[in-house]
Structure 1
Amino acid sequence: MANTINKVCVIGAGTMGAGIAAQVANAGVPVLLLDIVPKEGDNRNAIAEGAVAKMLKTQPAPFMSKRAAKLVETGNIEDHLDKVAECDWVVEAIIERLDIKQSLYEKLEAVRKPGTAVSSNTSTIPLAQLTDGRSDQFKQDFLITHFFNPPRYMRLIEIVAGPDSNADTVAMVSEFVDRKLGKSVVDAEDSPGFIANRVGTFWIQQAVNAAFEQGVTVEEADEIGGRPMGVPKTGIFGLIDLIGIDLMPHLMKSLTSTLPKDDPYQAIARSEPLIETMIEEGYTGRKGKGGFYRINREGGGKVKEAKNLQTGEYAPARGSRLVRGSAAKGDLGKLISQEGKVGEYAWAVLGPTLSYAAMIVPEATKTIVGVDDAMKLGYNWKFGPFEMIDNIGVATLVERLEADGLPVPEMLKVADGRPFYRVEGGKRQYLGTDGGYHDIVRPEGVLKLEDIKLSSEPLLANSSAALWDVGDGVVALEFTGKMNALDEQVMKLIKKAVPLVQKNYKALVVYNEGSNFSAGANLGLAMFALNIAAWSEVEKLVKGGQDAYKALKYAPFPVVSAPFGMALGGGCEICLNSDAIQAHAETYIGLVETGVGIIPGWGGCGEMLSRWINNPKYPKGPMPAVSKVFEIVSTATVAKSAAEAKEYGFLRHDDGVTMNRDRLLFDAKQRALAMVDGYAAPEKPEYRLPGPSGAAALQLAVDSFHKQGKATDHDVTVAGELARVLTGGDTDPTEITTEADLLKLEVEGFMRLCRNPKSQARVEHMLETGKPLRN
């Protein structure tokens, strides 16, 4: 048996198979993508080749970088199945028909190496049926690996091992999908629908049924069943539109045909005539002519409309504002007890769904943690079903279930009024099926700040940041403000942190566990200062940020930033000022200041220049690097992945990339520790920049875009200030421009733009709408 996976074969180049192949390539691992020979045309590899070509144009992009596509080798099952012998893992992602899958497995037996892992991406067919009639060796090497769509972005993978599956093979695949593909593995039992789709399908069906029965509108259902429950803002009907209304009958048919007749899902599985009509007429959701929502573009307009569930007609969407007080902020007890349709609908959705989720333990997965992780990772719920039950209260839920004559599952009886989760001795514990509490154990190489907080206090803290001891002489700087926005408080804490770390610790990691690393500077505070013309306060904030970031850069210890999600503006600049970056693969990083009418002010300009000037593959001389940085920053370019960030220079070539978000802090900490011995702070850079002649050349390019209508009047003004900074102001290539000179130019340009009413309008518009103003 192979100990590692060096090459993968994916059979089936549909949406899922192709997406899985792309994610393997994103991990830097060669992948063979096979499909059937098309019935028409001379190109026998057309289906697999077409899938790759389509993915290169798809948004959101399945590939993290176009370069990754080069690792995908395409072929067809008839001519190239023998190449399976080169692979250590074969993923089958073909049509959900048992006979076709079994036919493929028979062919695979003849060509694969013994010990090569074989898995199915099925979401419906039990493992025992898939391997029926296969050899003992095949059964040992077989498992189910159920990815979620789209494979690049959805973190959940449900892994099902059969009674004959080789434990080492399962461990090898689990390790690969965790570390290389960035997935969170949830071990599932060989039961219909596994975990997430079983609970998720029940939840959606119950929510749809209740909306029709109670006369709740589409918008009301999505408000009540959305954010107050910790469900993404799509809510119920918006989610169905997203995944495709026509998929729902297939899911229903699959589950009703495989679940026991006495399963509670059987009693609620039904279709509505209105939904059947919508599918027949092509109203299948976002991919069709519309769904429960649509955009009406008649007469050149753009009006969002919602479907009336009673009449079937569309009417302008007006939004719903029914949920009040703490219920709107996640207090589920208050939500289900609110009088009127809010409480009635919330209970009609939550009561049966939470009861059902409790019922499938241990049938679908051995622990409640498996159910909660599956729903949070697979459906993007903020809280898992058992966390929701704790929110309501176990006793309260049981009382309501009994009052309504709904089943009270064994797990709720085992709890006997106790919470499903608790913290004991600084450890988070879950309630097992045995009635005892057990520590939640993280996999090796996973370090979570949320765990550290259970048993320690911050070394330093204020309203916007905190400093934590994460062990082995390393501290973590955490942003804590809304959207992890950066303000004066963050800068003050950084200045206090440097001497503390220097005295007592070895290294510092910039890290947090929010939804995004940082959205940049706190624009709300900046706008307040602009409105009252507090120019000295604005300048103080800019200089304070520069001082703090440079204090980190030149600290006598290693500083490693660990970005993920959005790392924009000032969030990008703190990364640029770090000794190294350990980025999550899904990092969307960039200097976006020009979009709000300003320029980078915390050292981003100089740091980007240094990266491109020192890029050995880029032309030398005063202008090429300046032009490249100007192009990237003036257009507010954002890298859509860590791989792309290396192409733009936001990450250096040797900066690290972590595929699994849960492993980011551990990896960043190890990176920092590896730099401690012999560490010396970097030398201050010096530049030879083109000065006014270079600025004029850049301005000519901007003027050309302006004449073509690709740049607005104010774009020209902002670009002019950026060009002055990047070209060094009043200098020329014979003179040295220092880092301090560039920082001074940044402040001057930033302040001139802040005083400009058009820049102020851009900041205000961004705050109000979240979108850039093109003035």
Structure 2
Amino acid sequence: MEATLEKPKSEGRSPQTKNRTIRRVAVLGSGIMGSRIAAHFANIGVDVLLLDIVPKEPNELEQAKGLTTASPLVRNRIVTDAFQSMLKASPASLYSPKFADRIKLGNFDDNLKEIASFDWVIEVVVERLDIKRSVYERVEQFRKPGTLITSNTSGIPMHLLTEGRSEDFRRNFCGTHFFNPPRYLRLLEIIPGPDTDPAVVDFLMNYGDLYLGKTTVLCKDTPGFIANRLGIQSLIQTIRVAEELGLTVEEVDKLTGPVVGRPKSGTFRLSDVVGLDTTANVASNLVKMQHDESRASFELPASVQKLMENKWLGDKTGQGYYKKTKDEKGQTQILALDLKTFEYKPSEKVKFATLESTKAIDNLKKRFPVLIAGKDKAGEFYRQTFADGFRYATYRIPEISDELYRIDAAITAGFGWQLGLFETWDAIGVKKGVELIESFGQKPAQWVYDMLDVGFDAFYKVENGKRKYYDISTKSYKTIPGAEAFTILENLSNNIVWKNAGANIVDLGDGILNVEFRSKMNTFGQEVSEALQKGVALAEKDFRGLVVGNDSTEAFSAGANLAMLFMYAVEQEFDEVNLMIAQFQKLIARLRYSSVPVIVAPHTLTLGGGCEAVLHADRVVAHAESYIGLVEVGVGLIPAGGGTKEMAARASDLYQTGDPELNILQNVFMNIATAKVSTSAQEAREMNYLRATDQIVLNRSRLLAEAKQAAIELADNGYTQPKPRTDIKVQGKTGIALFRAGVTAMHMGRYISDHDRKIADKLAYVICGGDLSSPQNVSEQYLLDLEREAFLSLSGEKKTLERIQSLLTGGKPLRN
């Protein structure tokens, strides 16, 4: 496998997986799931063959060109159209557009024979048993013995799929259920068939984790497996309760969004995105289950039935629970469905006293007791939905899983919840949860009462930094398998060696410290800055390495906290502004010029000062989904924590004899001037925010463990503190003239405002090293001083202050 994304160093392959290597994967079926699964394998460096059926006849355009079904263009039209649709889709399925070259297109008739040289064949055709079986029959004609063959079915039982197949096929066959979109949703359900070789299951569990970055969950071969069984039940019951309580679409989405640690889409918006027909189809299969005591909970509520009749299926039909229209001014307007009248009306702002009471509670787990105690409709909604969800989950053990942690792992990774059902129940209290269920005349499964009877009052607990779950069969706590490879800061609360209101410093063991940001969006304020200084000092004194990382789901760091800067600038306290910038430059420089190695572990949003911390690390261990950028121009400033200096230095390092140096520098200049943010860690590498020596990790759960390992590695290899540079080649007047000419052209074309032009001119001045007569080498400190001067000058501009104020008050930068 091509080493585009590195295999974690903290754990190698298990013994069962040593002799199986995946270099080439064939994906059969190029629809939304198939093309995106193919893209994700391309992301990790695998060569992919993507196949689909041959059209029965040419379309009108092909006929007009005189093409027939013998033409390759016609024969590959279905797969080509699907592939092009995947390339245009947003969010992107590929980490980099360059990776599209790793996917070869073809059709079942002409190219299926090529699977003989492939290591893994993944079937992703339509959810019909007869069609899947016919595909497998053809696959067996060409597949070499021992090749993995898996299905992405979302519900067809494995034993039905393999009926009539050879012993080798059945032994190497398994269900591998990805969730859409495969790049972003972390769940991969592994469902063995009755004859699947246990070594195949071990391999897939390991491979999905290490290479695909997934939370791999072992499932029993039951209807809907785990995530859909629990997730669809929760969704339908939520809609039913909403109808009973008379709640609006907007109210329910607010109640089931970030306030309870779930995606912003909430319930109804998610249904529109997924497609109501998809939800209805899964539910219609699950309602047939004779052995499920609550199968009636999968019956479609009245609103769903009405929408299905109207064919208002969500985004795919242009309307569902929501509808996008244009108002009289041509502005986009979002309309919401009235569940009583079935007419669309403008979306309304949602307000509940229960939600207001949780605004000051940042800790998600501490919100739940407050939410279920609410005296309004919101409180009643939470009581009914939580009670039903808790109760239903207890009866699924041991039917769909023997262990409760697998249920939580599937629901969190598959639907983007921060807490699973049993984790949420723990937050409320197990006894209180039982009382809540009983208040509706229901009871949880007997094993919950048995757990309480033996004196255990939590489904999870942490011992010696390890998270354990309650094991029903032994009535004891067991360590979650595989979790020893993860470093989860929440589990290390006893290892905190220093803390303040905005950060913790945690002993990770083996001589490595970690600075964890805990401010809002992990912005750099006084507390975070103090913690970074303290972390470096403690590491230099008593440890051998430092990691800067956190477990936030929102941001590694959204950059500097602008409130203090705004206050000083409005008051024209420019000496204070100057001091603030100088101190921040020194803080970021401390990350590079410490006597111990410093590893920065970015993920999700890594902007402004967060990006500058990344740029100054000895090594970066980045999650694949890291969105990195220097975005200060958006608020009327330029990067001044060493960001502009560092990008000038990195451009300088790229210069080779005979290279057009200004072209290299221009790419850097444009990335900063347009506040461009990478859409992946791979793109951040292409933008030179990450170096070739920096590591990219796919599994977010492994990020801090890998960062710690990198710190140990540098320390063990004899880390030497670097010295500030004096060899940064800058372009002087030549570069400034080129960039200003481009900026002037953009301004004349009205692509940028007067203020944008002023910012860009100052950026050009700094990144080119000032008004030097010719290209020459300068020091880091020289460029830092230019950065600070430009930042200070811009902070006094009225239009910059307007931009900062807009961001602070409305959350959006102003274009002025």
TM-score class normalised by the smaller sequence? over 0.9
In the alignment, is the contact (CA less than 8 A) between 1:464 and 1:480 conserved in 2? Answer: yes
Tell me the SS of whatever aligns to 1:423: strand
1:344 equivalenced with 2:380 (yes/no): yes
For residue 381 of structure 1, what is the aligned residue in structure 2?
A: 417
For residue 185 of structure 2, what is the aligned residue in structure 1?
A: 154
Distance 1:594 1:228, change over 3 A: closer
For residue 631 of structure 1, what is the aligned residue in structure 2?
A: 670
For residue 700 of structure 2, what is the aligned residue in structure 1?
A: 661
1:418-472 residue CA offsets vs partner (Å, 9 max, x unmatched): 2212234443321111222222343464222233x243122x3333333322222
Query: Which residue, out of 736, 739, 747, partners 1:695?
Result: 736
Amino acid at match of 1:563: P
For residue 45 of structure 2, what is the aligned residue in structure 1?
A: 28
For residue 490 of structure 2, what is the aligned residue in structure 1?
A: 450
Kindly state the Cα deviation for residue 694 of structure 1 after the two structures are TM-superposed: 2.5
Amino acid at match of 1:474: I
More off after superposition, 525-534 vs 314-323: 525-534
Q: Normalization by structure 1: what TM-score?
A: 0.95
In the alignment, is the contact (CA less than 8 A) between 1:188 and 1:194 conserved in 2? Answer: yes
- The CA distance in 1 between the partners of 2:281 and 2:656, in whole Å, is 52
Amino acid at match of 1:694: G
1:260 equivalenced with 2:260 (yes/no): no
Query: Which residue, out of 797, 807, 810, partners 1:756?
Result: 797
Amino acid at match of 2:399: E
For residue 725 of structure 1, what is the aligned residue in structure 2?
A: 766
Kindly state the Cα deviation for residue 558 of structure 1 after the two structures are TM-superposed: 2.1
Tell me the SS of whatever aligns to 1:632: helix
Amino acid at match of 1:680: T
For residue 548 of structure 2, what is the aligned residue in structure 1?
A: 510
- The CA distance in 1 between the partners of 2:811 and 2:689, in whole Å, is 23
Tell me the SS of whatever aligns to 1:56: helix
The correspondence of residues 527-606 of structure 1 with structure 2, limited to 5 A, is 527-606=566-645
- The CA distance in 2 between the partners of 1:557 and 1:343, in whole Å, is 51
Amino acid at match of 2:325: N
More off after superposition, 108-117 vs 393-402: 393-402
1:322 equivalenced with 2:352 (yes/no): yes
Kindly state the Cα deviation for residue 390 of structure 1 after the two structures are TM-superposed: 1.7
- The CA distance in 2 between the partners of 1:136 and 1:691, in whole Å, is 71
Kindly state the Cα deviation for residue 59 of structure 1 after the two structures are TM-superposed: 0.8
- The CA distance in 2 between the partners of 1:726 and 1:445, in whole Å, is 42
- The CA distance in 2 between the partners of 1:132 and 1:423, in whole Å, is 44
Distance 1:161 1:711, change over 3 A: same
For residue 142 of structure 2, what is the aligned residue in structure 1?
A: 111
Distance 1:352 1:619, change over 3 A: farther
Kindly state the Cα deviation for residue 45 of structure 1 after the two structures are TM-superposed: 2.1
In the alignment, is the contact (CA less than 8 A) between 2:236 and 2:301 conserved in 1? Answer: no
Tell me the SS of whatever aligns to 2:495: coil
Query: Which residue, out of 248, 269, 278, partners 2:279?
Result: 248
Tell me the SS of whatever aligns to 1:718: helix
For residue 439 of structure 1, what is the aligned residue in structure 2?
A: 479
Distance 1:339 1:474, change over 3 A: closer
Kindly state the Cα deviation for residue 114 of structure 1 after the two structures are TM-superposed: 1.6
- The CA distance in 1 between the partners of 2:333 and 2:76, in whole Å, is 43
Is there any run of 5+ residues in structure 1 with no aligned partner, and where? none
Kindly state the Cα deviation for residue 690 of structure 1 after the two structures are TM-superposed: 2.8
For residue 608 of structure 1, what is the aligned residue in structure 2?
A: 647
- The CA distance in 1 between the partners of 2:485 and 2:423, in whole Å, is 25
- The CA distance in 2 between the partners of 1:584 and 1:726, in whole Å, is 29
Amino acid at match of 2:29: G
- The CA distance in 2 between the partners of 1:282 and 1:619, in whole Å, is 62
Distance 1:135 1:587, change over 3 A: same
For residue 133 of structure 1, what is the aligned residue in structure 2?
A: 164
Is there any run of 5+ residues in structure 2 with no aligned partner, and where? 1-16, 59-70
1:713 equivalenced with 2:754 (yes/no): yes
Query: Which residue, out of 173, 187, 206, partners 2:204?
Result: 173
1:467 equivalenced with 2:508 (yes/no): no
Distance 1:611 1:82, change over 3 A: same
Kindly state the Cα deviation for residue 282 of structure 1 after the two structures are TM-superposed: 4.8
- The CA distance in 1 between the partners of 2:749 and 2:757, in whole Å, is 13
For residue 197 of structure 1, what is the aligned residue in structure 2?
A: 228
- The CA distance in 2 between the partners of 1:687 and 1:421, in whole Å, is 53
Query: Which residue, out of 679, 682, 685, partners 2:722?
Result: 682
For residue 61 of structure 2, what is the aligned residue in structure 1?
A: none
Query: Which residue, out of 375, 389, 410, partners 1:353?
Result: 389
Distance 1:392 1:501, change over 3 A: closer
- The CA distance in 2 between the partners of 1:163 and 1:490, in whole Å, is 53
- The CA distance in 2 between the partners of 1:616 and 1:698, in whole Å, is 18
In the alignment, is the contact (CA less than 8 A) between 1:582 and 1:667 conserved in 2? Answer: yes
More off after superposition, 100-109 vs 151-160: 100-109
Kindly state the Cα deviation for residue 267 of structure 1 after the two structures are TM-superposed: 4.6
In the alignment, is the contact (CA less than 8 A) between 2:731 and 2:776 conserved in 1? Answer: no
- The CA distance in 2 between the partners of 1:505 and 1:201, in whole Å, is 49
In the alignment, is the contact (CA less than 8 A) between 1:4 and 1:172 conserved in 2? Answer: no
In the alignment, is the contact (CA less than 8 A) between 1:488 and 1:545 conserved in 2? Answer: no
Kindly state the Cα deviation for residue 146 of structure 1 after the two structures are TM-superposed: 0.7
More off after superposition, 41-50 vs 190-199: 41-50
1:293 equivalenced with 2:322 (yes/no): yes
Kindly state the Cα deviation for residue 594 of structure 1 after the two structures are TM-superposed: 0.3
Tell me the SS of whatever aligns to 1:578: coil
Distance 1:92 1:745, change over 3 A: same
- The CA distance in 1 between the partners of 2:563 and 2:407, in whole Å, is 39
- The CA distance in 2 between the partners of 1:139 and 1:124, in whole Å, is 18
Kindly state the Cα deviation for residue 86 of structure 1 after the two structures are TM-superposed: 1.4
In the alignment, is the contact (CA less than 8 A) between 1:8 and 1:30 conserved in 2? Answer: yes
In the alignment, is the contact (CA less than 8 A) between 1:610 and 1:685 conserved in 2? Answer: no
Kindly state the Cα deviation for residue 276 of structure 1 after the two structures are TM-superposed: 4.1
Amino acid at match of 2:452: D
Tell me the SS of whatever aligns to 1:246: helix
Distance 1:725 1:238, change over 3 A: same
Distance 1:327 1:688, change over 3 A: closer
For residue 404 of structure 1, what is the aligned residue in structure 2?
A: 440
- The CA distance in 2 between the partners of 1:537 and 1:366, in whole Å, is 61
1:669-722 residue CA offsets vs partner (Å, 9 max, x unmatched): 222332232433334142332323422321110111111121111100110111
Distance 1:65 1:405, change over 3 A: same
For residue 221 of structure 1, what is the aligned residue in structure 2?
A: 252
For residue 500 of structure 1, what is the aligned residue in structure 2?
A: 538
Kindly state the Cα deviation for residue 281 of structure 1 after the two structures are TM-superposed: 4.4
1:132-157 residue CA offsets vs partner (Å, 9 max, x unmatched): 22222222111111110000000011
Tell me the SS of whatever aligns to 1:40: coil
Kindly state the Cα deviation for residue 161 of structure 1 after the two structures are TM-superposed: 1.4
Kindly state the Cα deviation for residue 559 of structure 1 after the two structures are TM-superposed: 1.9
Tell me the percent identity. 38
Kindly state the Cα deviation for residue 350 of structure 1 after the two structures are TM-superposed: 1.8
- The CA distance in 1 between the partners of 2:471 and 2:479, in whole Å, is 10
Kindly state the Cα deviation for residue 96 of structure 1 after the two structures are TM-superposed: 0.6
Count the aligned residue pairs.
771
In the alignment, is the contact (CA less than 8 A) between 1:561 and 1:580 conserved in 2? Answer: yes
In the alignment, is the contact (CA less than 8 A) between 2:237 and 2:297 conserved in 1? Answer: no
In the alignment, is the contact (CA less than 8 A) between 1:362 and 1:433 conserved in 2? Answer: no
Kindly state the Cα deviation for residue 626 of structure 1 after the two structures are TM-superposed: 2.9
For residue 335 of structure 2, what is the aligned residue in structure 1?
A: 305
In the alignment, is the contact (CA less than 8 A) between 1:502 and 1:556 conserved in 2? Answer: yes
More off after superposition, 543-552 vs 344-353: 344-353
Query: Which residue, out of 123, 128, 138, partners 1:97?
Result: 128
